[in-house]
Amino acid sequence: MAIAAAVILPLGLLFLLSGLIVNLIQALLFILVRPLSKNLFRRINKEVAELLWLEIVWLFDWWANIKIELYTDTETFELLGKEHALLICNHRSDIDWLVGWVIAQRFGCLGSTLALIKKAAIYLPVLGWSMWFNSYIFLERCWTKDENTLKSGFQGLNDFPQPFWLALFVEGTRFTQAKLLAAQEYAASAGLPVPRNVLIPRTKGFVFAVNQLRSFVPAIYNITVAIPKNEPHPTMLRIFRGRSSTVHVHIERHLMEELPETSGGISQWCKDIFVAKDALLERHLAKDTFGNTDCHDFGRPIRSLLVVICWSCFLIFGAIKFFKWCPFSWGEIAFCAVFLLLVTILMQILIVFSQSEHSTPTIKESPRNSLEEKLLHI
């Protein structure tokens, strides 16, 4: 309760009020600018969206002081943010998406990051709405319904005016021990490599993405996220509490043109990547590092701090002017109290929404065919 009163409530007010202003600007741009020029809308909307998303980056960088150590070769590091890319990442942490946002911000791609995300996220006030304006692709996790959504979403990126990063979590769900046990059982029964640190990728969506994007997206970034053994696992709740940590991120760049031409070959390529990713994570567990790859520490830029300071000053000034202009009655005070309560509840929902699922093994109830359907297909 103390956390809700001292931290979540003021940060929630800042995020909600500034977010509603950003959403309103995005809606006006969508109505007035997009019919005239889709690319002009995207360029302006990128900057507007960052006015909201940088607040979350500020939580990560300045409030919680979480450090990212980026492991990649020099050539890849120099190309980050300068080309379209399809990102595939393990989904181990509650905040993998936020780690991606922070890295994208460092390389100028925060406002042009995209992702395949479950449809329920579109109903999240402020954040979900801003994602919709930014062309995130919302899925129902049913292939017959999602195929056309994916096709139109990918085709709509063909003329994207800035370098974009499209994130695809091919494991299809967050990593939990229960899901790992199910994946291990299926792998053992099917004669596949048994994973220890990842789930078996669902390749149908990845194959479809590659076939749709390979003509204009030059690279795939294979991203692996790991937490050092002596560091606490960051979560949204820990971030709100201002708890620091360190995250290791390994990026490996693959040329899209080097992937196989057939769907079966693309699928196997993805499976092989995750076998290698599993081995990489195993080595990280043993050595607490990603090995001989160059480590880049890119600090924490001041832009997100300036955005939060500016929003705070603007909203405080606006609130003072409003209270002077409109003295409150008891009924209006009660309305404000209810509003603050709703803000607190909304922030709690956002925290819960970001948390990993807590599940229990159901292996005995899941025959092999059912496991195969769950693990290998969308």
Q: Please report, to the nearest 10 degrees, the dihedral formed by the alpha carbons of residues 261, 159, 171, 355 taken in order.
A: 170
DSSP 8-state secondary structure symbol assigned to residue 258: G
Tell me, yes or no, whether 298 lies in a domain: yes
Residue 140 lies in a domain: yes
Q: How far from 223 is each of 91, 158, 339, 368, CA to CA, in Å?
A: 10, 23, 40, 30
Lowest mean pLDDT among 15-29, 205-219, 283-297, 312-326: 312-326
Look-up of token digits 């909304």: 346
Q: Is 50 exceeded by the pLDDT of residue 373?
A: no
Q: Which of 171-185, 250-264, 269-283 has the lowest mean pLDDT?
A: 171-185
Residue 140 binned pLDDT confidence (cut-offs 50, 70, 90): confident
Query: Residue 357 sits in which domain range?
Result: 2-304+350-376
Note whether residue 228 is domain-resident. Answer: yes
| Mean pLDDT computed over 250-263 | 96
For the cut 60, the answer to whether the pLDDT of residue 358 exceeds it is no
Residue entry with tokens 């995209």: 114
- Residue 198: how many CB atoms within 10 A of its CB? 23
Q: State yes or no: pLDDT of 143 exceeds 50.
A: yes
The more confident residue out of 102 and 373 is 102
Residue 305 pLDDT class (50, 70, 90 cuts): very high
How does residue 376 score in pLDDT terms, banded at 50, 70 and 90?
Answer: very low
Asked if residue 17 belongs to a domain, the reply is yes
Q: Is residue 184 part of a domain?
A: yes
- Copy the structure tokens of residue 118: 């479950």
Share of the chain above pLDDT 70, in %: 84
pLDDT in tens, 161-193: 999 999 999 998 888 889 999 999 999 998 899
Residue type at 132 in one-letter notation = W
Q: Which residues contact 35 (CB under 8 A, 6 or more apart)?
A: none
Residue 88 lies in a domain: yes
Instruction: Count how many domains the chain has.
Output: 1
Q: Assign 335 a pLDDT band (cuts: 50, 70, 90).
A: low
| DSSP string computed for 359-377 | ----GGG--HHHHHHHHH-
Band (215; pLDDT cuts 50, 70, 90): very high
Q: Is residue 331 part of a domain?
A: no
> What's the whole-number mean pLDDT along residues 66-75?
94
* CATH number where 64 lies: 3.40.1130
pLDDT digits (tens, 9 = 90+) for 229-242: 889 988 888 888 88
Helix residue ranges per DSSP H, the chain: 2-3, 9-32, 38-58, 74-79, 96-106, 127-133, 143-155, 177-190, 203-213, 236-240, 263-287, 303-325, 330-354, 368-376
Average pLDDT for 107-123: 91
Q: Please give the mean pLDDT across all residues of the chain.
A: 85
More confident position, 371 or 271: 271
| Of 331 and 117, more confident | 117
| Domain contains 195 | yes
Here the tokens at position 158 are 């063909």
Measured distance CA(202)–CA(210) in Å, rounded: 14
Across 123-127, 215-219, 320-324, 360-364, least confident range: 360-364
Band of residue 154 on the pLDDT scale cut at 50, 70, 90:
very high
What mean pLDDT is predicted for residues 321-328? 71
Binned at pLDDT 50, 70 and 90, residue 153 comes out as very high
At 121 the pLDDT is 85
